[in-house]
Amino acid sequence: MTQVVDRRNGIESAEPAVDVEALGEQLLGRWASVRRQARDLAARPELHKTEGLPHTGHRARVSGQLKYLVENGAVHRAFPSALGGLDDHGGNIAGFEELVVADPSLQIKAGVQWGLFGSAVMHLGTGEHHKQWLPGIMSLEIPGCFAMTETGHGSDVASIATTATYLPETEEFVVHSPFRAAWKDYIGNAAIDGLAAVVFAQLVTTGVNHGVHAFYVDLRDPVTGEFLPGIGGEDDGVKGGLNGIDNGRLHFTHVRIPRTNLLNRYGDVAPDGTYSSPIASPGRRFFTMLGTLVQGRVSLDGAAVAASKVALKAAIQYAAERRQFNASSHTDEEVLLDYQRHQRRLFTRLATTYAAGFAHEQLLQKFDDVFSGAADTDEDRQDLETLAAALKPLSTWHALDTLQECREACGGAGFLIENRFASLRADLDVYATFEGDNTVLLQLVAKRLLADYAREFRSVDFGVLARYVVGQATGVALHRTGLRQVAQFMADSGSVQKAAIALRDEESQRALLTDRVQTMVAETGAALKGSHRLSHEKGAALFNRHQNELIDAARAHAELLQWEAFTEALAGVADPGTKRVLTWLRDLFGLSLIEKNLSWYLMNGRLSMQRGRTVGEYINRLLVKIRPHALDLVDAFGYGDGHVRAAIATGAEKARQDEARAHFRSQRASGQAPVDEKVLLARTAAARKN
């Protein structure tokens, strides 16, 4: 145990110390140098959001900021080295997601240009496409759009209605929007800036629909900025957030493009109209094409974590300085961060942010392995897609929750735009529904869990499946009979301390979190067994009856992934004091998950009532342990004043509080302080008694 200065009172106490510098380095991860470069840019006033601008002014500012990124070499990392890039896929995402702290509109606009439009050309196109278009995309000579979503189809990309019909006599595709619902919608850069687009459409040749493919389509005259013949559009106008991006709608009326504008890495059409593909299965081809664009989800996961860190840095800094109510002193008011409820509000979210950050680093590593070719099998790509689909919903929902809670925890000051909570929350709101609606993504994860479960038991009968269901962990049958509860009650035997120790044990947490996922998947899998033999209608109805349980299972799975990532990160912490504090934080995360789902654990016999009651008690003890280290834990995020940019996190509140306390101390010392009426009444009452 080392001596550490208690940052609340400036005194030394026997507490484990956090090595802020070493922890900060660990949090930066593999691409630490890239993150530092990106944070240096993000701290520059030239890239900051100017609050209060009308959406037209905000759009113009962000468009100019994209040029600033190009001039400062911030956009080329993922592109081929032959064209001036660095072939650094993981580093590209690590740097890109840091832009959220400057202005989320800038991050997303940059993402549209280089992460979606440019990446689609790079990953779905071939060498000639790269030479023809990527240099202009990289330099911003060709601002572009990623035209996938339609008014009538968002997450269901396979059902989009825009068509690209091949004409062999002219060797052209005809791109067409057959009805209003087929218009491309919510498309970044579409309203003003986009000169071209990668348009996703149903490829039709020789009378056969070969499914969704991507086409490069010029949109506007580069001189006049007017739409080209057959192309039209509308401005989406003011949105709930991200108003620095010119989102709009696009529609096509028999627009002809050359055959070679088909981005043909996974599907090609010969001059005579013959279709060919290196992937025979239409379904596998479709998911392979979409899988190359997974980086959008990866980057949103990281950006959401970054936004949560910035919010917690501001809120915890403020709570360590702001005083309210003199609960334990006649003269001094309490620091907000010393209130248990305030700790509950902020520390549990701090723990989740750490877990999400460690999980994101693993996702980023997996992404880089796949796109660098270090580990690029079909299974690796499926794992990457599933991991991104699992983590992006949790981190984006968490960011929205954290921003709102931090806003409320800072009272009226939190509502001021100068402190950024309200602005960041408005901008991040749409993160929950773009690059894949969160609920739909979790359903994708659930289907993968079911597929893995089905492969394990493909050839067994229902009796074996039933035995598998009741055999999870220590056995559902045992739990449900109450024998487990009785055994646990006997083990606890009135010892709350023993029960708490068991719950804070790493293996106990892992067993509880893992068992919940396994049981939920197994029970739903058993309920859906045989659905493939039903009619299409009945099979869909059966699936729908269990959709909610499936999505709950997927979320539990994603939470387990975060807990495991946090636990694995602990193994890499060398400093004993830091490791002890992070272990408390990991335990807080794990026990908070158990507390959130306590009804499930009680109803399914995983915890006795007695042990269940200890969960909250131990969480409260962890809050007390973490309290002296809260500022160190947010300082380790590595975000300075130029990133946080919240007036309440500058130390101004401490100066105000110190001034107020000095005033009252001086007043009391002078003997000139007015007597409080309640004190006077108490004295009078005491005198009467005497």
Identify whether 117 is part of a domain.
Answer: no
Question: Using CA of residue 25, residue 31, residue 37, residue 42, what is the dihedral sign?
Answer: negative
* Nearest CA-CA partner of 185 in 155, 222, 135, 148: 148
Average pLDDT, integer, range 365-377: 92
pLDDT band at 27 (very low <50, low <70, confident <90, very high): very high
Q: Does a structural domain hold residue 149?
A: yes
Whether residue 454 lies inside any domain: the answer is: no
Helices and strands (H, E) in the chain, number of each type:
28, 13
Domain boundary residue among 256, 291, 326?
Answer: 291
The reported pLDDT for the residue numbered 509 is: 92
Domain-located, residue 449: no
How many domains does the chain divide into? 2
Range of the domain at 670: 659-683
Asked, for residue 363, whether it belongs to a domain, the answer is no
Asked whether residue 350 is domain-assigned, the answer is no
pLDDT tens sequence across 62-117? 999 999 999 999 999 999 999 999 999 999 999 999 999 999 999 999 999 999 99
Show which of 291, 316, 350 is a domain's final residue.
291
Residue pair 353/374 in contact by the 8 Å Cβ criterion: no
- Segment 294-314 mean pLDDT: 96
Asked if residue 105 is part of any domain, the answer here is no
Cβ 225 vs Cβ 236: under 8 Å: no
CA 634 to chain centre: 18
Could you read off the pLDDT of 504-561 as tens digits, one per residue? 789 989 999 999 998 999 888 888 887 778 888 888 888 889 899 999 999 999 999 9
Examine the residue annotation and report whether 435 is marked as an active-site residue of this protein.
yes
pLDDT digits (tens, 9 = 90+) for 131-155: 999 999 999 999 999 999 999 998 8
Catalytic annotation, pick one of 435, 523, 559, 653: 435
Q: For 152-207, how does the pLDDT look when each residue is reduced to its tens digit (9 = 90+)?
A: 998 889 999 999 999 999 999 999 999 999 999 999 999 999 999 999 999 999 99
- What is the reported pLDDT for 456? 63
The three-state secondary structure class of 5 is strand
Let me know if residue 340 belongs to a domain.
no
pLDDT tens-place string over residues 646-690: 999 887 777 777 777 777 777 778 878 787 787 788 888 888 887
If phi over 0 gives left and psi between -120 and 50 gives alpha, with beta otherwise, what is residue 604? alpha
Q: Which helix (H) or strand (E) holds 275?
A: strand 275-276
- pLDDT band (50, 70, 90) for residue 480: very low
Over 80: is that where the pLDDT of 327 sits?
no
Chosen domain end from 291, 315, 343: 291
| Percent of the chain residues topping a pLDDT of 70 | 90
* CATH number, domain with residue 239: 2.40.110.10
More confident residue, 207 or 290: 207
pTM higher than 0.85: yes
Helix (H) or strand (E) holding 14: strand 11-14
Q: Across the chain, what does the average pLDDT equal?
A: 88
The arithmetic mean of pLDDT across residues 402-420, rounded, is: 95
